Structure 1
Amino acid sequence: MVKTTGDGILATFDGPGRAIRCALAFESAATQIGLPLRAGLHTGEVEIRDGDIGGVAVHAAARVMALSRPGEVLVSRVVTDLVAGAGLKFSDRGSHELKGLPGRWDLFAASL
């Protein structure tokens, strides 16, 4: 865990598959207590800044999270490509413009 962001968390993982499985586990646990949770995941290079992180990858993850629905773990195409064959499932959520980022981004809802 890097830091809390009000009612959220910013965390890094040593692989996108672990990040997805963690987010899905959190979502499942939160559902059991009636707390809607949403997550957004992207992978890329980050800049380490005095115990914090930043950069385009962090910005992209925040934008992906902002588009996720309650109870959803939303991921970028980059993430789906890196976990191919890992036993995870993805439902297409369309192509979106992400504020402050170039082009359109294909997003997917993750599940087991």
Structure 2
Amino acid sequence: SEKERWARLMETYFQREADAITTGVLIVDIRHKPTANDLVMHDWFRQTGCPEIVVANKLDKLKKSQVEPALELIRETLELTERDTLIPFSAEKGSGKDELLRLLVDACCG
């Protein structure tokens, strides 16, 4: 019931604020295939034409040899193109932080 309450709350928010959202950030777990909820949010960004930054979080939890296959799974699942932004990110180590901040500043301040 808590998930349903949150789903209704988010749906209402996104319906009301669709014009106010200039760039979306979709945070996915790099260790796993994007979830059904990730796909719903990604589809919303696509359908509304809202620019999207996909952040593949928890980069520090993978071995270097696991990173590219994990990113490829995210690209395939979300059907990302060359124009889409996918940032490998680690809050723990700071990887991807500067790129994400730059993109967010560019999105809000041009």
Normalised TM-score (structure 2): 0.29
Quick check: which has more Rg, 1 or 2? 2
More helix by share: 2
More strand by share: 1
The structure with higher relative contact order (CA 8 Å, sep 6+) is 2
